[in-house]
Structure 1
């Protein structure tokens, strides 16, 4: 039950942070809001690192032995946060959440293919079903306008 509560709270914080980033982007600019998002994220992450007591792991060479594309996550995060700040004022939060979900799903499929050499067919089927549902919902929304 705790995992369900954490998942729901995670979804709430994502939608809330996206709305706050949209307002902040309107006030100070899209790139500045992305910058402050990452500055405060870095401060929060550093505080959690200090609290956890694992600061010695920073100096362990084994901590930096991931596959090369794992290190591109920060750059991709900047792109996603910037696009989310830009798109939040253009499309509804529901559609933006679904688009981000689809992007995460197919990026996960791509990462599985690159790292393990196989394509998880059930994730692709699920992603296609979500895309069909999104398209149907967009069609219904546009039919009644």
Structure 2
């Protein structure tokens, strides 16, 4: 039950952060809001590092033995936050969340392939089912939008 609550809270914080980033980007600019997002994220991370008592590991050579592409997460994060702030004005929160989920799913499949040399058929099937569901939902929304526009036009 604990993990379910954590997953739900994680989803809530992602959507909330996206909305806050959009409002901030609207007020001060997209790149400035991304900058402040990362500055405050860094401050929060340093605070948690100090509280955890793991600061001694920063100076251990064993802490830096990860592959080179592991360190690209920050650059990818900046790109995702900037793109998310930009798209928040153009795409509904539901579709943006699904698109981010699909991106994470297929990126995870790609990373699994890099490390194991295998691709899970179940993950691919699940990803394509999510894409099909998203496409179907977009189609239904478009049909409903056209119907409501047609009704409005007939009433005017």
TM-score by length of 2: 0.92
Q: How does 1:1-145 map to 2 (within 5 A)?
A: 1-145=1-145
Q: How many residues align?
A: 145
Separation in structure 1 between the aligned mates of residue 58 and residue 91 of structure 2, nearest angstrom:
40
Partner Cα separation in structure 1 for residue 20 and residue 89 of structure 2: 11
Gaps of 5+ in 2: 146-156
Structure 2 residue matching 1:9: 3-state secondary structure: helix
Report the Cα distance in structure 2 between the residues aligned to 1:21 and 1:91, rounded to whole angstroms.
14
State the alpha-carbon separation in 2 of the partners of residues 57 and 120 from structure 1. Answer: 35
Superposed displacement of residue 99, structure 1: 0.1
- Write the distance in 2 (CA, Å) between the matches of 1:25 and 1:123: 35
> Matched residue of 1:144: which SS?
helix
Query: Root-mean-square deviation (CA), in Å?
Result: 0.5
1:41 & 1:118 partners in 2: Cα distance?
35
**Structure 1 position 94, deviation (Å):** 0.1
Deviating beyond 6 angstroms after TM superposition, the runs of 4 or more aligned structure 1 residues are none
In structure 1, stretches of 5+ residues that fail to align are none
Q: C-alpha offsets along residues 55-89 of structure 1, whole Å, 9 cap, x if unaligned? A: 01101111111111111100000000000000001
TM-score by length of 1: 0.99
Quote the offset at 1:18 in angstroms. Answer: 0.1
